[in-house]
C-alpha cells in the first residue's frame, strides 16, 4: 500500500535508511538535503518504507503542483526491494496532484507521459594519465592554454565567490533563478561542506577568479552541482582545467564522475569530450487540470 505522507509526518530515520540502501541512492534525496532547498514536500511511501518517492510541491493561483526545484538534479523512486510496481507510484501521484513536472532518476524506467533527458558521466579509473589521453583534442588544447596562462587551482574556496561568479555569468542567462534560490544554494553548500559531502574548487588567473564549481560526494560518485566560468575570459582553458583537476583529485577514491548533465547538444558534447558517456533519465510531466486552469500551467 502506498501512502501520501506530509513532510512533518515522515519517519526521518526509516526514510533516510531507504535512500541509503536503495540502488538509486542519491545525496539530494536525503531529508536534510531536500529540507535545505524545498519549503513544502510530501513523500509517497510503500508499506513500511520499502520504497519512497519524495515530491516537492508548491501552490500558485490556487493550484497545487509538483515541480523540479533548483539544486536538485534528480529524484524519483528509491527502493530497498525489487518487487514493487513503479506504475502504482505514478498512479498515486496523479491522484494526489493534477499537474506534475519532476525529474526522475536514471534507474527509474517508467512508460508514461514523459520525455527523455540526459546527463553525462565518466567512469573513473586509478590511471589518470590514460583518462587524460582519452580527452578530445580541444580539451588537450585547453589544458595547454591553461598552462600558458599559469592558471591556479584552489580547493575549499568560498561558496559565496562561486555564487557571485555564477550569478554574474550563468545567472544572467537564467532569468528564473531569483535571490531566494541563491540564498538556498549558499545554505546548501554550507550544509554539505559541514557534513563532509561537498567542496568548492576554484581556478584563478593571477588573483582573478575565472572558474569555480561545487562538487557533491556520495558513496563512489562525484557530481557537479553547479559551476561557472567568467564569460568575458573564455579562451584561457579555465573550465577544462577545473574539470581536469577535479578528475585528477577524485579518480583514486571514486568510481564515477557525474557532470551534472545537459540535454543541450553543445554542452553535452563538451562533457563527452572528456571521455564521458550520456545516460538517459525521464522527465515526468502531466497536466490533468480542468481546461480553464490549463492556461495557468502549460
C-alpha cell at 110: 517508467
pLDDT of 95 above 70: yes
Q: Determine contact, residues 285/110, Cβ cutoff 8 Å.
A: no
Per the model's pLDDT, the better-predicted residue between 263 and 283 turns out to be 283
- pLDDT surpassing 80 at residue 158: yes
Domain 125-254: give its CATH code: 3.40.630.30
* In contact, 43 and 33? CB cutoff 8 Å: no
Q: What distance in Å separates the CA atoms of residue 140 and residue 162, rounded to the nearest whole number? A: 25
Distance, CA of 15 to chain centre: 20
What is the tens place of the pLDDT at every residue in 265-277? 899 999 999 999 9
Q: For residue 23, give the C-alpha cell.
A: 540502488
Residue 109 phi, psi dihedral angles, 5° rounding: -115, 105
Contact 41, 54 (CB under 8 A): yes
Considering the domain 2-117+281-287, what is its CATH architecture? 3-Layer(aba) Sandwich (3.40)
* pLDDT reported for residue 275: 96
- What is the reported pLDDT for 293? 56
Q: Which of 198, 181, 157 is nearest to 30 (CA)?
A: 198
Statement: residue 177 has pLDDT above 90: yes
Q: Give the per-residue pLDDT at 297.
A: 53
pLDDT the model gives residue 126? 82
> pTM of the entire structure?
0.93
Mean pLDDT of all residues belonging to the chain: 93
| DSSP category for residue 187 | H
- State how far the Cα of 163 lies from the Cα of 182, in Å rounded to an integer: 7
Q: What one-character-per-residue DSSP string does 196-233 give? A: TSEEEEEEEETTEEEEEEEEEEETTEEEEEEEEE-TT-
Question: Please, which residues bridge with residue 3 across strands?
Answer: 45
Amino acid at each position: 500500500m502506498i501512502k501520501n505522507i506530509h513532510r512533518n509526518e515522515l519517519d526521518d530515520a526509516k526514510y533516510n535508511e531507504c535512500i541509503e540502501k536503495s540502488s538509486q541512492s542519491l545525496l539530494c534525496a536525503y531529508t536534510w538535503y531536500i529540507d535545505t532547498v524545498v519549503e513544502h514536500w510530501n513523500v509517497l511511501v510503500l508499506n513500511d518504507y520499502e520504497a519512497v518517492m519524495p515530491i516537492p510541491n508548491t501552490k500558485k493561483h490556487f493550484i497545487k503542483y509538483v515541480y523540479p526545484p533548483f539544486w536538485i538534479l534528480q529524484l524519483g523512486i528509491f527502493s530497498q526491494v525489487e518487487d514493487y510496481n513503479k506504475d502504482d507510484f505514478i498512479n498515486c501521484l496523479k491522484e494526489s496532484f493534477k499537474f506534475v513536472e519532476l525529474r526522475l532518476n536514471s534507474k527509474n524506467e517508467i512508460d508514461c507521459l514523459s520525455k527523455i533527458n540526459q546527463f553525462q558521466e565518466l567512469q573513473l579509473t586509478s590511471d589518470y594519465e590514460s583518462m587524460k589521453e582519452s580527452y578530445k583534442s580541444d580539451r588537450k588544447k585547453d589544458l595547454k592554454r591553461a598552462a600558458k596562462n599559469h592558471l591556479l587551482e584552489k580547493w575549499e574556496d568560498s561558496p559565496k565567490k562561486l555564487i557571485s561568479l555564477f550569478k554574474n555569468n550563468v545567472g544572467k542567462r537564467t532569468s528564473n533563478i531569483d535571490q531566494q534560490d541563491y540564498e538556498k544554494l549558499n545554505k546548501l553548500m554550507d550544509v554539505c561542506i559541514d557534513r563532509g559531502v561537498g567542496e568548492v574548487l576554484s581556478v584563478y588567473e593571477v588573483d582573478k577568479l575565472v572558474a569555480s564549481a561545487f562538487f557533491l560526494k556520495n558513496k563512489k560518485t562525484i557530481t557537479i552541482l553547479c559551476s561557472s566560468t567568467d564569460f568575458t575570459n573564455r579562451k584561457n582553458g579555465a573550465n577544462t582545467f577545473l574539470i581536469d583537476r577535479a578528475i585528477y583529485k577524485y579518480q583514486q577514491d571514486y568510481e564515477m564522475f557525474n557532470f551534472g548533465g545537459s540535454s543541450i547538444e553543445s554542452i553535452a558534447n563538451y562533457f563527452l569530450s572528456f571521455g564521458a558517456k550520456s545516460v538517459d533519465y525521464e522527465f515526468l510531466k502531466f497536466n490533468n487540470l480542468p481546461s480553464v486552469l490549463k492556461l495557468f500551467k502549460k
